[in-house]
Amino acid sequence: MTTHPETDHSYERFSALFSGRTLPLAWLDLDALDANIRSISQRCGNMPVRIASKSIRNSRALEYIAGQQPHIAGIMSYSIAESVMLARRGFKNILCGYPCMEAEQISEAIQAMKETGALILFMTDRPEHISLLQDIAAREDHTVRICIDLDMSVRFPGVYFGVFRSSLNNTEALTRFLDQLDLCPRLEIWGAMGYEAQVAGIADNVPGKGMYNRIIRYLKKRSLPKIAERRREAVALIRRRTGRNIEVNGGGTGSIESTCLEKDVTEVTVGSGYFQSHLFDGYRQFRHIPAAGFVLRVTRNPAPDIYTCQSGGFIASGATDTAKTPQVYRPKSATLLKNEGAGEVQTPLLYTGNLLQPGGIVVMRHAKAGELCEHFNTLHVFRSGGLMDQWPTYRGEGFDFH
Ligand SMILES: Cc1ncc(COP(=O)(O)O)c(C=O)c1O
């Protein structure tokens, strides 16, 4: 059973690769990752890509992707402590996608920039963010470059279509923020980010959910012109106020096509599409190849057609619903049980074929790409030639970035 011409993801292949190893373990298929890098490049055209590290959480994989992907703008990190680690590992351009209110970490980041020459960019949308940064930048005698986070959420009657992150959702709020920035001489605007989560992060082609898909597609279609207009106006205002051009970051795996169409955007963020976790299967615009997942051992067979595996309860973050549970990947027809789901220590599966027995394996996928790495110390890396290496995850290196 082959899913894509580039990769053999048959049960037999996974079994040959992993059944003799100590399980559970996490895997990364470099052939599939290569194919995803190629298709992401095609989707992005010439637009530089910023890799979302939260969706990777493995330094070797980040280096690998940065080395293969043409037109790399840098990394979008998810914490300042992580940004410091990345700067010390040689990454040169790191945009932290979320604001930081930890004074000690900000000082460490400034220190790391002085020592390595890397650029760490700080996300801001509140006076509290910039006054803390200004104080520390002044104390450290360093000019800190910041990114302004623009809210891209859209309100429709009765529906808030977006996320609650930035408070900068109109021209007045942005003008007030720029006025406050004028009082921060050690801060310099690098650019603006608008993350259109409602387009990038919501699937619109989920099997068996016809009506839901139609509603989401309709809302996305109606959002897109509003997003483009909001970003255009905000960027024009910042340009007028600074008297110069700025960088403009946007998007995510699910919105590459529409983000890249916007004239002001100078770079697009992409993370989840590299490992292609299962929440990113249900999009109409693209299909990437599952490149990472985990393998469980079947330990029991408590009833006919029920096979219980050790471990497996790796539930993804976000609003809690069944979409956040892992999915069985191989054998294809095995399913989780409604009553038990993926368990804390054991995961029973319903399966009627003849591939499973105690001692055998089951191949699973996580709902979210980077969170997989929070459960394992290494990714077992393979290619067509077989198992190659183990790449330590952030967890395996002892990091607990939040
Ligand atoms: C600020 C920001 N940009 C971009 C992304 C897109 O990342 P991905 O491609 O992994 O969906 C995210 C994901 O949550 C994000 O928070």
Identify residue 112 by its one-letter amino acid code.
A
Domain ranges of the chain: 57-270, 292-392
**Whose alpha carbon is nearest atom 1 of ligand 1?**
97
Nearest 5°: the CA angle 88, 92, 96 is: 85
301-340 per-residue burial string, b: 16 or more CB within 10 A, e: under 16 = beeeeebbbebbebbbeeeeeeebbbbbbbbbebebeeee
What tokens does 74 get?
């840098």
Identify residue 154 by its one-letter amino acid code.
V
Residue 252 Cα to ligand 1 midpoint, Å, equals 5
For 118, the 3-state DSSP assignment is coil
Sign of the torsion formed by the C-alpha atoms of 344, 371, 149 and 194: negative
What tokens does 313 get?
């309860």
Is residue 194 within 8 Å of 231, Cβ to Cβ?
yes
Distance CA 73, CA 205 (A): 30
Distance CA 152, CA 249 (A): 12
Residue 362 Cα to ligand 1 midpoint, Å, equals 29
52 Cβ below 6 A of ligand 1: yes
Work out which ligand 1 atom sits closest to the CA atom of 200: 11
Q: How many CB atoms lie within 10 A of CB 16?
A: 12
Report the pLDDT value the prediction gives residue 1, as an integer from 0 to 100.
Answer: 39
* Distant-in-sequence, close-in-space partners of 244: CB < 8 Å, separation ≥ 6: none
Work out which ligand 1 atom sits closest to the CA atom of 78: 16
Report the pLDDT value the prediction gives residue 7, as an integer from 0 to 100.
Answer: 87
Report the pLDDT value the prediction gives residue 5, as an integer from 0 to 100.
Answer: 57
* φ, ψ of residue 262 in degrees (nearest 5): -75, 130
Exposed, middle or buried: residue 395 (CB in 10 Å: 0-12, 13-18, 19+)? middle
Mutate to test the pocket of ligand 1, among 47, 54, 147 (most ligand atoms within 8 A of CB): 54
Report the pLDDT value the prediction gives residue 2, as an integer from 0 to 100.
Answer: 39
Distance CA 162, CA 208 (A): 24
Q: Which residues of the chain have pLDDT under 70?
A: 1-6
201 Cβ below 6 A of ligand 1: yes
Residue 3 Cα to ligand 1 midpoint, Å, equals 26
Residue 192 Cα to ligand 1 midpoint, Å, equals 15
Fold of 292-392: Lyase, Ornithine Decarboxylase; Chain A, domain 1 (2.40.37)
Fold of 57-270: TIM Barrel (3.20.20)
For 124, the 3-state DSSP assignment is strand
**DSSP state letters, 225-256:** HHHHHHHHHHHHHHHHHHTS--EEEE--GGGH
Q: Strands 292-303 and 361-365: what pairing? A: antiparallel
